[in-house]
Every structure is written in C-alpha cells, then in structure tokens.
Amino acid sequence: MSKIRIIYISIFTVIIILGLLGERIPLNNGLGFDGATRFAPAVRNYKSQIVNRTIDSYYIQRLVPSIAVDVICKILQLDTSNDKSILKGFIILDIISLVLSLFFFIRLMIFFEIKPALELISFLLLFFNFLIAKTIFTNPVLTDTLALCEGFAFTYGRFY
C-alpha cells in the first residue's frame, strides 16, 4: 500500500473517531426532523407501508436505508421501538457506508492510475468536507451517506 493511501486512511479513521465522539443533534432524541418524521417510523413499520401502499413515490426510494437499519438492529438485537437503538443503527450504517465508499474510491484510483498528488486532493475533496466530517455524525439519521456509497459502487461497477 502506498504512503499516500496510508495517510488518507489515517485521516479517514480520525474523522470517524472524532465524529463518534462529537455532538449529536438534540432534536427528537437525536433523530432530527427527517429521522423522527420519516426514517425512524419507516424502520419500525416499513413492511406495512409497503403492503398498504401508504408511502409516496418520493420516499419509496429512501426506504432502503431504513430497511438496512432494521436489519442491523435485528442482528445486534436492538429494540427498534427505542429511538436510541435506531440512532445506533443509522450510525453503524453510516460507518459501513463510509468504509465501503473509501474502498470503492481506492479501487477506482488504482484502476485509473491516478497520480498520488491528485489522489490525495480527490480524497480530501470527497471525504474531508462538511458533510462527512460534521453533518453525518451530528445528524446521522439521514440517507446521504448511503447515497454516497451507492454512487461510488455504481461508478466502480461501471468500470470493473
């Protein structure tokens, strides 16, 4: 592994650790507005929303993270009726999404044979920004991190 990748994996690790130790949005027990109104209820009853067709076309595409959080909570035996458990599930999903995004990013840099300086600049622009360093840990009950991961995965899939 090149020195430049070790540097940005180290930066990435520090961002995650500081994010986990940092502040959380106090609104709705840490779920925030969208988390309390859309995503936490979807974790709790997405099956009935799908069967009864009570979810609109805009939010059906945003249901995947809630389903993933439900699966994470079941694996870890967390009670989804508890807001803190859903919050933990989303934090875990965000970290998994970030790690996978970094994996796909590295694979794409190798595939395109990007020079180390440009690779570092790309890393800093994509991963060392307000969204990654602050927003996803302050308000983790969002779908942005999984969307970032999906974008990297689709790009990776296009070239491999």
Q: What is the C-alpha to C-alpha distance for residues 117 and 143, in angstroms, rounded to an integer?
A: 31
Provide the pLDDT for residue 1. 66
Of 57, 142, 45, nearest in space to 93 by CA: 142
Q: What is the mean pLDDT of residues 98-116?
A: 94
Average the pLDDT over each of 39-53, 73-87, 92-106, 118-132 and give the range with the smallest value. 39-53
Q: What is the C-alpha to C-alpha distance for residues 153 and 149, in angstroms, rounded to an integer?
A: 6
Provide CB contacts within 8 A for 149, sequence distance 6+: 97, 98, 100, 101, 104
Q: What is the C-alpha to C-alpha distance for residues 124 and 128, in angstroms, rounded to an integer?
A: 5
- The pLDDT tens digits of the residues spanning 115-141 come to 999 999 999 999 988 888 888 889 999
> Over 70: is that where the pLDDT of 69 sits?
yes
SS3 of 138, please?
helix
Residue 93 has a CB neighbour count (10 Å cut-off) of: 22
Provide the pLDDT for residue 157. 94
**In whole angstroms, how large is the CA radius of gyration of the chain?**
17
Q: What is the mean pLDDT of residues 37-55?
A: 82
Q: Where are the domains of the chain?
A: 3-155
- The pLDDT tens digits of the residues spanning 138-158 come to 999 988 899 999 999 999 999
Average pLDDT along the chain: 89
> Over 80: is that where the pLDDT of 59 sits?
no
> Over 90: is that where the pLDDT of 106 sits?
yes
